[in-house]
Amino acid sequence: MKIIADENIPFVSQVFTHLGDVTTVPGRSICHSSIKDADILLVRSITPINAGLLNNTKIRFVASATSGVNHVDREYLKQNHISFAHALGSNAVSVAQYVTAGICHWSLQNHKPLKQLSIGIIGYGNVGSQLEKICQKLGIRRVLNDPPLAKLGQSHLESLNTALACDIVSLHVPLTTHGKYPTNNLINQQNVSKLRPDGLFINAARGGVVEESALLSHQAKHPKFSIILDTWENEPNINTNLMKRTLIATPHIAGYSFDGKIKGTQMIYQACCEFLGKKPLWDKDIVNLDDNIPCRISQLEQTDIRLAILTAYNIIEEDKRLRLILSQPELVIPEYFDTLRKNYPIRREWVY
């Protein structure tokens, strides 16, 4: 059994070795020639899974150690009897904590107490529901928008326009181009004016959900309008003009907590074992990590939860690393963007 895996999946060689011969490669280097003799393919979000990659190969099982699947042609896999699994919800806590840290930074910068704020959470799935729980604890008023769930009878859901009118708007939808509720360019020239002139807009979903030119136009008209972007159109060749106008810019790492990644590894491992009829021999709980990371909270930080959160997760350091693109012209943007993702430091979720 030959297994090709993205090298950025934690412990992938160690975990899958009893299932076959594991070869790890960079995600963007996975191509037809590198997998043509493989039986199993394990990827993350940067590897497009489609006919061009998989035609005339031996691949019979594909897994993505990510929640999102817009990089996967699932219909092609189904038609060609290729089994598929992904790590739905594995990084939900990580993304919710990223968004919360961004909100806390903006709140402090603009002297806006959390309990006086409202947030429109667009997409009430794994991430959106986690974020809603945190915002409830922080005293932020929540407005939830999710048309597919509303159709299923989910209560307490509001219209998109109502969500866009909040102080903070945070996107947590998949990127889709078909169906009754497509999300491609969900935020566009037609509705961007609904955003508050002094509000905060956050996209930690997928780049294509936002028409970036519309966001730029809105910010140009309203200098007090703040933007936090973790996902971008045309990744990794991101729009530096837009980055200059952001409050916080990061290289698609909101879901990159080490805990979220390990959950993703376990989820696709268990799915692969089930596909092969093998008994799982590895569990994420046996990973030897120091679960008691010191986080020294000052007396002032004990009186302001925002400062405590930013001590636990310094999101501004993430921004500084990506923003070097603007001051060091020798950096090649796509390569540097991927390097930051590949060499991402270990970040633990707050419970640790």
Q: Which listed residue (86, 235, 245, 347) is catalytic? A: 235
Q: What's residue 289's pLDDT?
A: 63
18 is catalytic: no
Top pLDDT among 350 and 164 is at 164
CA distance 22 to 16: 7
235 is catalytic: yes
| CA-CA-CA-CA dihedral for 150, 86, 267, 208, to nearest 10 | -70
206 is catalytic: yes
Residue 29 burial (CB count, 10 A): 10
In the structure encoding, which two tokens stand for residue 7, read together?
A: 């090298």
**Mean pLDDT, residues 287-305:** 67
Q: What's residue 288's pLDDT?
A: 63
**Mean pLDDT, residues 346-352:** 86
Q: What's residue 58's pLDDT?
A: 96
Write out pLDDT tens, residues 142-170: 999 999 999 999 889 999 999 999 999 99
In the structure encoding, which two tokens stand for residue 37, read together?
A: 């003799």
In the structure encoding, which two tokens stand for residue 78, read together?
A: 């189904």
Domains of the chain by start residue, with CATH: 2-86+257-286 (3.40.50.720), 93-249 (3.40.50.720)
Q: What's residue 321's pLDDT?
A: 97
In the structure encoding, which two tokens stand for residue 128, read together?
A: 């959106």
Q: Does residue 23 sit in helix, strand or coil?
A: strand
**Mean pLDDT, residues 257-275:** 95
- Using pLDDT thresholds of 50, 70 and 90, give the confidence band for residue 340: very high
CA distance 54 to 59: 7
Q: Which listed residue (105, 218, 245, 252) is catalytic? A: 252
- Using pLDDT thresholds of 50, 70 and 90, give the confidence band for residue 293: low
Could you tell me the CA-to-CA distances from 304 to 2, 17, 98, 138 in Å, in that order? 52, 47, 18, 11
CA distance 218 to 195: 8
CA distance 44 to 8: 8
Exposed / middle / buried, residue 329 (Cβ in 10 Å: 0-12, 13-18, 19+): exposed
Q: What's residue 297's pLDDT?
A: 65
**Mean pLDDT, residues 211-230:** 97
Q: Which listed residue (206, 245, 323, 341) is catalytic? A: 206
Strands 168-171 and 118-122: parallel
DSSP for residue 170: E
Write out pLDDT tens, residues 20-44: 999 999 999 999 999 999 999 999 9
